[in-house]
Amino acid sequence: MKTEFDAELESRLLRYAAIDSQSDAASPTSPSTQAQFDMLNLLVDELQDIGASDVTLTDYGTVLATIPATVDHAAPVMGLLAHVDTAPAFNATGVKPRVHRAYAGDSITFPDAPGLVLSPDAYPYLASKEGHDIVTASGATLLGADDKAGIAIIMTAARHLLENPDIPHGRIRIAFTPDEEIGRGVHADLPADLGADFAFTFDGGALGEIEYETFSADGATVQIEGVSIHPGTARDKLVNALHLASKIVQTLPQATMTPETTDGRDGFIMITDMKGTAAEAVLHFILRDFERDGLAAKGTLLQEVCATVQSTEPRARITCEITPQYRNMRYWLEDDMTPVELAHAATREAGFEPRSEPIRGGTDGSRLTEMGVPCPNIFTGMQNLHGPLEWISVQDMGAATRTCLCLARHAAGQAG
């Protein structure tokens, strides 16, 4: 379904996606990469250009702005959030967005990766988008619709609201955060600085999805100190840290507890990277589960595996440190479903049937909800995230923009 916002959304997404803003978990700074300032500073300028108020770039790298209320009565303050960083899981430098206009329903190929194919047979949701304008990258990078589509949607909705003060809505606060992809998007000061009664991230997938249940997440760092010695005289002396690292990975359940072998409500343990030498090695894991006890059990399992491998080689030193990342937003939202109900009502008013299923991931809304600002997640249309097959429908983005505008009215008690 074509919308009045399609041209603006497409223009914004193409412009934003071409800007390198990848985050880096190894960096201690906030934002974690200097490149993210290219997006943050651009958004400051664009918010000022469309007439937003209180436009600020905080010292922790979040852009904040206000759309003033147009109703006289007291109304809750609503927040709208998206993140500027793209995932470090795949190349995100030199993104060349491509528009496949009026998609014909066939397979999509990529000029920078001749063997790569995006097929509607493999991805049924793509098959349902015949006639839509589909945006992909060129095959050498991810697209970055996660979450530059969310930024484009919020910016387009904000511009429309500011140009049409006859649309009734309460005070709206906008936040564009860094480092969501590495679990550091919500700074401790953000809830107070945002000043919202509730909020919504535009960081979801298929048309109509309203997400209020996410994974709970921990990170784990395993460090191994071996015994290094020249290999020519290594017999009975060398303790190879990489061999021990391999044992840890192989001892973990491979067939039942990895991302590629689980779905639905199953959690997982995933090794994300392993670096080192024979002398020492570092392994990073992510642990995911929908329930607290399931997440704790996965942490315990990883620690037990490390202890078992340690017991086979007392000359080595193996440590396993587990760090909390975010928790399932359902734990708090189930006590007050008002924001979820508003999102469902707004989606229906926009002309789509809402669906709420657990998301096998997390958003800034997970942390924000835990910190006292209820924050469900709204669809944008983005698909196949964090890889070269990432794509999005411009018309799905238009549907999300209409939902955002309906949400503004519903939040102020002014349903259309």
Domain with residue 254: its CATH number is 3.30.70.360
Q: Could you tell me if 267 and 202 lie in one domain?
A: no
175-202: average pLDDT: 96
82 and 230: one domain? no
Among 304, 325, 346, the domain-final residue is 325
For residues 254 and 260, give the distance between their C-alpha atoms in angstroms, rounded to a whole number: 9
Integer Cα distance of 43 and 51 in angstroms: 12
Indicate whether 1 belongs to any domain: no
In a shared domain, residues 224 and 206: no
Q: How many separate domains does the chain show? A: 2
For residue 353, the enclosing domain spans 6-214+328-411
Residue 225 CB-half CA count within 13 A? 4
The helix or strand, by DSSP H or E, that contains position 36, with its residue range, turns out to be: helix 36-49
Give the pLDDT confidence of 25-79 residue by residue, as tens digits.
889 999 999 999 999 999 999 999 999 999 999 999 999 999 999 999 999 999 9
Dump pLDDT digits (tens) for 323-358: 999 999 999 999 999 999 999 999 999 999 999 989
Residues 170 and 22 in one domain: yes
pLDDT above 70 for 197: yes
Q: Is the pLDDT of residue 13 over 60?
A: yes
**Bridge partners for 98 per DSSP:** 136
202, 230: one domain = no
Tell whether 365 and 314 lie within a shared domain: no
Q: Helix or strand or coil: residue 311?
A: helix
Q: How far is CA 111 from CA 16, 96, 107, 120, in A?
A: 21, 10, 13, 18
> Are 343 and 264 found together in one domain?
no
Same domain, 243 and 311: yes
**pLDDT reported for residue 40:** 98
pLDDT recorded at residue 126: 98
Q: What is the pLDDT of residues 270-312, one digit of tens each?
A: 999 999 999 999 999 999 999 999 999 999 999 999 999 999 9
Q: Are residues 374 and 348 in the same domain?
A: yes
246 pLDDT more than 80: yes
Give 1's pLDDT tier (boundaries 50, 70, 90).
low
Residue after which a domain boundary falls, among 325, 352, 386: 325
In this prediction, residue 2 has a pLDDT band, given cuts at 50, 70 and 90, of confident
Answer yes or no: is 187 within a domain: yes
**Active site residues per annotation:** 85, 180
Q: Looking at the predicted structure, is the pLDDT value of residue 227 above 80?
A: yes
- pLDDT at res. 414: 65
- The residue among 277, 305, 325 that closes a domain is 325
pTM of the model: 0.92
Question: Domain check: are 160 and 223 in the same one?
Answer: no
CA angle 28, 33, 34 (to 5 degrees): 125
Report the range of poorest mean pLDDT among 191-195, 240-244, 410-414: 410-414
Indicate whether 374 belongs to any domain: yes
Predicted pLDDT of residue 255: 85
For residue 229, tell me if it sits in a domain. Answer: yes
The torsion region of residue 265 among left (phi > 0), alpha (psi -120 to 50) and beta comes to: alpha
DSSP helix/strand/coil, 159: helix
pLDDT of 183 over the 60 cut: yes
Please indicate, yes or no, whether residues 299 and 374 belong to a single structural domain of this protein: no
Domain presence at residue 416: no
Quick check: is 266 in a domain?
A: yes
Write the CATH number for 134.
3.40.630.10
- On the question of pLDDT at 175 being above 80, the answer is yes
The predicted structure's pLDDT at residue 362: 87
- Note the pLDDT of residue 416: 53
Q: Report the mean per-residue pLDDT for the chain.
A: 96
DSSP one-letter string for 171-220: -EEEEEES-GGGT--S-TTHHHHH--SEEEEEEE-STTBEE--B-EEEEE
Q: In whole angstroms, what is the distance from residue 274 CA to residue 295 CA?
A: 22
38 occurs within a structural domain: yes
Shared domain for 37 and 139, answered yes or no, is yes
**343 lies in some domain:** yes
